[in-house]
Structure 1
Amino acid sequence: MSEPAATARGAPTSVDALSTLLDTHDYLASRALATTAFLALSLGKPLLLEGEAGVGKTEIAKTLARALNKRLVRLQCYEGLDTASAVYEWNVPRQLMEIRLAEAAGEKDREALSRGIYQPAFLEKRALLQAIDPPEGEAAPVLLIDELDRADEPFEAYLLELLAEYQVTIPELGTVRARERPNVIITSNRTREIHDALRRRCLYHWVDYPDTARELAILKRKLPTLPAALAQQVVTFSQKLRALDLYKAPGIAEAIDWAEALIALDAAALDPEVISDTLGVLLKYQDDVTALNRERIAELLG
């Protein structure tokens, strides 16, 4: 019986230490998010992050990988995702070549041939198996399971074994157990509900839109050449848009893109014309763009 997987090494020793570490890598986390992330690292638990698109759920996994000097293994979920794409598959062309070479050499024992082609050398590791079984001597990576809500429910059920025991079962080889637990971050945009069985295995945090002060700090950090007055206008206008009944309110990612576009246009300040011309950077649905006519834009600016 193998020993249970150890928790990840090298994690920050306090919430303040993690906040500082994230800050040095340009991720300005709220205190609540930093606390939950610290507990996930310390306890070796997966971290489930839910929230609207563009609020920084994926980015924290990327930042943690950089900050902890670990490899990021990303599994982008989608409808129809299966174990061959997410966990492993056998390299069939290489297996067939091995069989032909063995037959050419006079090998007739079919059972021996069968054993010979089901070896680790013929196994193609996908994201989940890469995270569970990294190369010898490499630290356990940060595993990002991105937009799990887009995957089908049977795949979500498959994750239960991995998140409960940090192991993957391969029928031809047996069970592969993690020597060290990866740092697992799961994101969801809530296009469907994640099941309770998976939620119970995770620590949870809802990533909300940043308040005005934090969004302004993020803009200044990401775009240091952005004039202070224009940065304030961008944040104020974005915050007002999020209070409207839009199909998809702009996230912090869209606000950063918009500010970058305004820099490229040499805009010194917001006015109805420049906002109308650049709404396609901030909003992604025609109904939302149409709802913001010049009069409405002027009203929001005022």
Structure 2
Amino acid sequence: MTVPTDPGELAAALRRTGYLADAGIATAAYLALRMGRPLFCEGEPGTGKTSLAVALGKALNLPLIRLQCHEGIDAAQALYEWDFPRQLLHLRALEAAHREVDEASLYTERFLLARPLLQALKEAPCVLLVDEIDRADDEFEAFLLELLDGNSVSIPEFGEVRAEKPPLVVLTSNRTREVHDALKRRCLYHWLEHPDLAREIDILRHRLPGLDERLAAQVAGAVHRIRRLELLKPPGVAESLDWARALTALDRDVLDAEAAALTLGAVLKYSEDIDRVRAKLDSLLG
């Protein structure tokens, strides 16, 4: 891994992967990399938090290991478990060969199933994405805090596993609940906003090279106006890209009321939002 020399160089490397970072994002990611600190990213869904971790893996030529958090996730699901079926087969093979059963032989690397957190410790350097940490409970958050503090874990039957070099950790949160200050204190923090109009146009044209410049501006402008409405789920950049792809697939080179009405399902995911936007299409299209 070659460490960029400044945020601008990192931004350029991210751009080559298709992720267009503004100065704030590039600086936060650069500092996390240089200081060896986790990066805690909060923001509305669709602002590019998960995509940043993916792009960092590509830009730095590091493997990406992702832990998707959810309600009820526990240490066993995130860290490791023993392959009990294979252990049982091993026991039966020893018995069939009339060999003495050595309990230690059941708890070796061959029977250890590494889940994302243990994988990250074993495979570092890598990018570890802890996605939607706000969906996990307090107990799991405390467990994660302990692991990140020492970049190691002790497995009772196996011993300690310690990362030779700490992984680059990116934690994301949609802020469905407040994450404890103890975790935030150990991280660099960055709040991600939706991109401004110029950057969203740039993203559309960069990710969809054949997209007409005027259509890119129309889609980005309409999405920005749609985000100002009180919607159940405002569209993110991924929805902007989907809308542009849908229009292109229909051979539309202009975003007019007819084309928009036909393709709103690409940018909005709730019928209530579609109805609300459809009623204001003329003003939203500018």
Q: TM-score range by the shorter chain?
A: over 0.9
Question: Which residue of 74, 79, 82 maps to 1:90?
Answer: 82
Q: Measure how far apart 1:174 and its partner are.
A: 2.2
Question: Which residue of 161, 170, 173 maps to 2:146?
Answer: 161
**2:179 matched to which residue of 1?**
194
Q: Measure how far apart 1:108 and its partner are.
A: 4.6
Identity of aligned residues (%): 51
Q: Measure how far apart 1:234 and its partner are.
A: 0.6
For the residues of structure 2 that align with 1:229 and 1:10, how far apart are their CA atoms? 38
Question: Which residue of 53, 73, 77 maps to 1:81?
Answer: 73
Question: Which amino acid counterpart does residue 300 of structure 1 have in structure 2?
Answer: L
Greater alpha carbon shift after TM alignment, 278-287 vs 210-219: 278-287
**2:247 matched to which residue of 1?**
262
String of CA shifts for 1:146-199, please: whole Å, max 9, x gaps: 111122222111101111111112111222111111111111111121111111
Does 2:239 correspond to 1:247?
Answer: no
- The list of structure 1 runs, each at least 4 consecutive aligned residues, that deviate by more than 3 angstroms after superposition, is none
Matches within 5 A, 1:113-262: 113-134=102-123, 140-262=125-247
Question: Which amino acid counterpart does residue 129 of structure 1 have in structure 2?
Answer: L
**1:289 matched to which residue of 2?**
274
**1:300 matched to which residue of 2?**
284
For the residues of structure 1 that align with 2:87 and 2:151, how far apart are their CA atoms? 28
**1:4 matched to which residue of 2?**
none
- Runs (5+) with no aligned partner, structure 1: 1-8
String of CA shifts for 1:123-168, please: whole Å, max 9, x gaps: 011111010012xxxx511111111112222211110111111111
Question: Which residue of 29, 34, 41 maps to 1:37?
Answer: 29
- Secondary structure of the equivalent of 1:175? strand
Does the 8 Å CA contact 2:234/2:268 hold for their aligned counterparts? yes
- Secondary structure of the equivalent of 2:66? strand
For the residues of structure 2 that align with 1:168 and 1:149, how far apart are their CA atoms? 22
Does 2:91 correspond to 1:102?
Answer: no
The CA RMSD measured in Å over matched residues stands at: 1.4
Question: Which amino acid counterpart does residue 82 of structure 2 have in structure 1?
Answer: W
- Secondary structure of the equivalent of 1:133? helix
Question: Which residue of 52, 56, 65 maps to 2:48?
Answer: 56
- Secondary structure of the equivalent of 2:211? coil
Question: Which amino acid counterpart does residue 34 of structure 1 have in structure 2?
Answer: A
Matches within 5 A, 1:8-27: 10-27=2-19
Does the 8 Å CA contact 2:226/2:277 hold for their aligned counterparts? no
For the residues of structure 1 that align with 2:14 and 2:96, how far apart are their CA atoms? 58
String of CA shifts for 1:255-298, please: whole Å, max 9, x gaps: 0110111100111211212111111111111211111234x111
TM-score normalised to the size of structure 1?
Answer: 0.91
Question: Which amino acid counterpart does residue 234 of structure 2 have in structure 1?
Answer: A
For the residues of structure 2 that align with 1:88 and 1:300, how far apart are their CA atoms? 50
Greater alpha carbon shift after TM alignment, 40-49 vs 173-182: 173-182
For the residues of structure 2 that align with 1:224 and 1:18, how far apart are their CA atoms? 22
String of CA shifts for 1:9-66, please: whole Å, max 9, x gaps: 5321211111111122221101011001000000111111111111111111111111
**1:6 matched to which residue of 2?**
none
- Runs (5+) with no aligned partner, structure 2: none
TM-score normalised to the size of structure 2?
Answer: 0.96
For the residues of structure 2 that align with 1:210 and 1:70, how far apart are their CA atoms? 26
Aligned length: 286
Greater alpha carbon shift after TM alignment, 203-212 vs 284-293: 284-293
